[in-house]
Amino acid sequence: MAQRRIGEMARRVGISPELLRAWERRYGLLEPVRTEAGYRLYSEEDERRVREMVRLVDSGVSPQQAASTVRSSAPAGPTEPSGRSPEAEAADLTQALARFDEAAADAALDRVFATYSLEAVLGRVVLPVLDDLGERWANGSATVAEEHFASNLIRGRLLGLARGWDAGAGPRAVLACPAGERHDLGLVAFGLALRSQGWRITFLGADTPAESLADTARLLRPAVVVLSAATSQPLADVPPIPGVPPARLAFGGRGATAELAKRAGAELLDPDMFSAAGQLAVELRSRARA
Amino acid sequence: MAQRRIGEMARRVGISPELLRAWERRYGLLEPVRTEAGYRLYSEEDERRVREMVRLVDSGVSPQQAASTVRSSAPAGPTEPSGRSPEAEAADLTQALARFDEAAADAALDRVFATYSLEAVLGRVVLPVLDDLGERWANGSATVAEEHFASNLIRGRLLGLARGWDAGAGPRAVLACPAGERHDLGLVAFGLALRSQGWRITFLGADTPAESLADTARLLRPAVVVLSAATSQPLADVPPIPGVPPARLAFGGRGATAELAKRAGAELLDPDMFSAAGQLAVELRSRARA
DNA sequence: CGGCTCTGTCAAGACTTTGTCTAACCTCTG
DNA sequence: CAGAGGTTAGACAAAGTCTTGACAGAGCCG
């Protein structure tokens, strides 16, 4: 993914770096990720927002007003064309998976990836389908085989998108499920959300013992280590991790609670993964200031 | 192949030798081979990369960013047969994985997929690397984190290839690891081997209880159900599966033994997965004759 | 008109990045 | 052996970026 520093970004959109910083400071227009040294790194989405902002201001809207408009504008992209809503596609996908119909499932996924933003695909199709499956499995109306088949298929698609998610200059996040936790698909999705905002991702996945986390953290010095679990126990069992200061630890997933996070000194991530990604960016910035 | 020393190289691409060395030292942009005396020798591929780098920097990208882009970019066009053996590539891949270097690992995989047959890639690169990793993990010289990182990366690549492996008109195989078995990467590879011979694959993956297998078999009526495990216990624990006649059951993986297979009435698959795929085809034909 | 806010720009001082350069030594060729 | 061209390690200065704080013009209100 393209990541630009402020000078290059300023040239591209035709305004001064000072103004970019002012808009960020005054209106929170952008929240670019930062390098280790604190340099801003802008994404393509950031560029789109700035262009939108410039357009509005040029057309006479006050900057304050324009910023508020841009902030609340959906991340552009084909919004609900084609008649088929993400929810309808999710229903199709669920049915295809229940029939073990790989071709139909892949076709549904192809359609949504081609039509909607990553945020919409993950938040309104993939995760709901997985949640639904989990629920139906819990109450006995879906088989383990169905759940396995669906997990493997979706995992393959998501890991395909994850290609190269460790490249670039952004802050690094190490993602893992603690020992005893086997559901890592949500974590893959969260990795993609972080990636879309410029982070570099090192994915360790399910069932990672604390000591391996410590080794990895020593080697890679990530800005944050994210632990995710579907239930509380695995998170409760995580010991302090040498080499990972609690300030650099974040808990997410259904199993994460305020109390568990507090006990470990970790950040508690928002259940919405795109909010959580933003949260980590803010946290990182305030840490840099300190 | 033409190999140039640093002065000649610098003239050709139009930058100073000092800068070439700085880019190498700071960003690892190149890793030219060295003469006995330590002189750098640059290849044509190196030249291509430097030109790409120069182009990016000229267009305003920061050198750091540009280097990261160039490093992770696949070598353009049909790369020279390169003389690199699968074994050499496997060694590269192992090292990249040990460093948690996703870009280098992907590059190595890109090279082998572009150069060798699926059979060679699986049999001489991917599986040996995984075996080696398993061994080093067993004797303590590899961490769990390394094993997780490598598994997830390779799984993503293999599942990418698995795209659409359920399509077509061939006989269907259901692939699963029995309850208690979590290592399913070998099984993914076997699925690819079967697929290359025209089978349709339904992949259930790790830790699948017998009763789910029964459900799936009832629904899909596969020509064969393959169970794979790295150790014997999970296979020994598999009960008779209603809906799957023993004649349609096959055992594979390190944990499969003649005795276990005999007890379950199952076929014992050859340790070499391509032989095993052939074996299933033969078995299917003879069954059809009967 | 005076006062007020909004907004783009600027400056100071510190830090980072990056291309170049130097020093001291090594290798190959004529 | 001289000399062109290599090597590493480190230093250096210019350019870029960071934060904080300030300033001046525009627009608005009383």
pLDDT digits (tens, 9 = 90+) for A73-98: 766 555 555 568 889 999 999 999 99
What's the pLDDT score for residue B246?
72
**Lookup: tokens for A87:** 């929810």
| Interface contact B205-A145, CB threshold 8 A | no
Q: Distance in angstroms, CA of B7 to C1' of C30?
A: 20
The Cα B222–Cα B277 span in angstroms is 15
* Distance separating alpha carbons of residues B236 and B239, to the nearest angstrom: 8
SS3 A139: coil
A289 pLDDT above the threshold of 80? no
Single-letter amino acid code for the residue at A84: R
Smallest CA–CA separation between A149 and chain B, in Å? Answer: 5
Is the CB of residue A17 inside 7 Å of nucleic acid strand D? yes
∠ CA A78-A11-A192 to the nearest 5 degrees? 40
- Ranges of chain B with pLDDT below 70: 1, 74-83, 287-290
Structure tokens at A28: 């929170």
- Joined tokens for residue A263: 């006990």
Best interface-test mutation with A: which of B153, B172, B204 has the largest number of A CBs within 10 A? B204
Any strand D atom closer than 7 Å to B63 CB: no
Give yes or no for CB of B17 within 7 Å of strand D. Answer: yes
What sign has the CA pseudo-torsion B12, B13, B18, B23?
Answer: negative
**Separation in Å, CA of B230 to nearest CA in chain A:** 18
Interface test with B, best of A185, A204, A208 (most B CBs within 10 A): A204
* pLDDT band at A245; cut points 50, 70, 90: confident
- A41, containing H or E segment: strand A40-41
Q: Which residues of B touch A107 (CB under 8 A)?
A: none
CB contact under 8 A, B212 and A165: no
Distance CA A150, CA A57 (A): 47
Task: List phi, psi (to 5°) of B242.
Answer: -65, 135
Using CA atoms, how far apart are residues B155 and A151, in angstroms rounded to an integer? 13
Q: A163 is written with which tokens?
A: 């290609």
Q: Does at least one atom of strand C sit less than 7 Å from the CB of B26?
A: yes
Statement: the CB of B57 is under 7 Å from strand C: yes
What is the count of residue pairs from A and B with beta carbons less than 8 Å apart? 142
A186 CA to C13 C1', in Å?
A: 45
Q: What is residue A232's predicted lDDT score, i.e. its pLDDT?
A: 94
Q: Which of B103, B144, B151 is opposite residue A164, by nearest beta carbon?
A: B103
Q: Do B159 and A164 touch (CB under 8 A)?
A: no
Task: Judge whether B187 and B226 are in contact, CB under 8 Å.
Answer: yes
Q: What are A147's strand-pairing partners? A: none
- pLDDT for B109-127, tens place per residue? 998 998 899 989 999 999 9
What confidence score (pLDDT) does residue B57 get?
92
Among candidates B69, B152, B220 on the partner chain, residue whose Cβ is nearest the Cβ of A203:
B152
Q: Which of A34, A40, A147, A166 is the mutation pick for testing B, counting most B CBs within 10 A?
A: A166
Q: Considering only residues 178-217 of protein chain B, which place a Cβ less than 7 A from any atom of strand C? A: none
Q: Could you give the CA distance from residue A53 to residue A68 in angstroms, rounded to a whole number? A: 9
User: Within 7 Å: CB of B64 and strand C?
Assistant: yes
Residues from chain A that touch B144, judged by Cβ atoms under 8 A, are: 208-209, 211-212
The predicted structure's pLDDT at residue B78: 46
Instruction: Note the strand D nucleotides within 7 A of protein beta carbons.
Output: 5-8, 16-20
Q: How far apart are CA A29 and CA A67, in angstroms?
A: 6
Q: What pLDDT is recorded for position B79? A: 47
Q: Could you give the C-alpha distances from A51 to A54, B79, B135, in angstroms and in order?
A: 5, 40, 54
A183 pLDDT exceeds 80? Answer: yes
How far is the CA of B228 from the CAs of A65, A206, B283, in angstroms? 62, 21, 18
Contact list, A168 vs chain B (CB under 8 Å): 65, 68
For the CA of A278 and the C1' of C26, the distance in angstroms is: 54
CA distance A46 to A34: 13
Compare all CA atoms of chain A with the CA of B207 and give the residue at the minimum distance.
A148
Nucleotide showing the shortest C1' distance to residue B20 CA: C19
The beta-carbon contacts of B43-48 under 8 Å, at least 24 apart in sequence, are B43/B1, B43/B2, B43/B3, B44/B1, B44/B2, B45/B75, B45/B79, B46/B9, B47/B4, B47/B9, B47/B12, B47/B13, B48/B75, B48/B76
Distance from CA of A61 to the nearest CA of B (A): 31
D25 C1' to A281 CA distance, Å: 35
Collect all residues with Cβ–Cβ distance below 8 Å to B278 and sequence separation of at least 6: B197
B63 CB neighbours in chain A (<8 A) are: none
Indicate the SS3 state at residue A121: helix
| Residue A73 pLDDT | 77
CA A216, CA B145: separation in Å to the nearest integer? 7
b/e code A208-234 from CB counts within 10 Å (16+ = b): bbbbbbbbbbebbebbbbbbbbbebeb
A 18-57, residues with C-beta < 7 Å of strand C: 18-19, 22-23, 26, 35-39, 57
Does strand D come within 7 Å of the CB of B39? yes
- Supply the DSSP string of B42-63, one letter for each residue: B-HHHHHHHHHHHHHHHTT--H
Question: CA torsion sign, B236 to B238 to B240 to B241?
Answer: negative
Strand D lies under 7 A from the Cβ of residue A39:
yes
First to last CA, chain B: 59
Q: Which of B163, B176, B202 sits opposite A100 (nearest CB)?
A: B202
In this complex, which of B143, B165, B213 lies closest to A145 when CB atoms are compared? B213
Which residue matches tokens 């992907």?
Answer: B106
Residue–nucleotide distance: A62 CA to D28 C1' (Å): 13
**Closest nt by CA–C1' to B6:** D6
Q: What is the mean pLDDT of chain A?
A: 89
Can you give the pLDDT at residue A80?
Answer: 53
